[in-house]
Amino acid sequence: MPWNQNDYPASFKNLEPRVKKKAIEIANALVNENYNESRAISIAMTKAREFFHAEDENRPTYIIKHRRNDWALIKAQGTKAIFVNEIKQSLMEKAKPYVNEQNGILKIYHEDGSLEDTLYE
């Protein structure tokens, strides 16, 4: 099913309008090329951001890391937590839209401190 400005993947919700429009265009093209929908959505978000923000090297980076008794979303080189939750998945549900709205990059770490994933590059 082709997406449009009124009917698009939920993960596109917090994209700025011009990036959302481009992401819809890219996702539709990828699905037409027989990409799996979830993969097409992920690729489309990344490529649409790159299209508009390739020159923007100053995008903020945010980190999800484990602390003593909880998980925290912190801006890179920052010390104050933006969001805190005892459950990593719950924190991620809150952090992803926030980082998206900030046009940021999200680095997610395992409990042992090793890098698990990087989103929105």
Q: Residue by residue, what is the 3-state secondary structure of the chain?
A: CCCCCCCCCHHHCCCCHHHHHHHHHHHHHHHHCCCCHHHHHHHHHHHHHHHHHCCCCCCCEEEEEECCCCEEEEECCCCCEEEEECCHHHHHHHHHHHHHHCCCEEEEECCCCCEEEEECC
Hey, what long-range contacts does 111-114 have (CB within 8 A, 24 or more apart)? 111/66, 113/65, 113/66
Q: What is residue 15's predicted lDDT score, i.e. its pLDDT?
A: 87
Q: What is residue 96's predicted lDDT score, i.e. its pLDDT?
A: 94
Q: What is residue 20's predicted lDDT score, i.e. its pLDDT?
A: 92
Give me the tens of pLDDT residue by residue for the chain, a chain 121 residues long: 589 999 999 989 888 888 999 999 999 999 999 999 999 998 998 888 888 776 556 789 999 999 999 999 999 989 999 999 999 999 999 999 999 888 889 999 999 999 999 987 7
* Maximal CA-CA distance, the chain: 47
Q: What is residue 1's predicted lDDT score, i.e. its pLDDT?
A: 59
d(CA 114, CA 63): 12
Q: What is residue 44's predicted lDDT score, i.e. its pLDDT?
A: 92
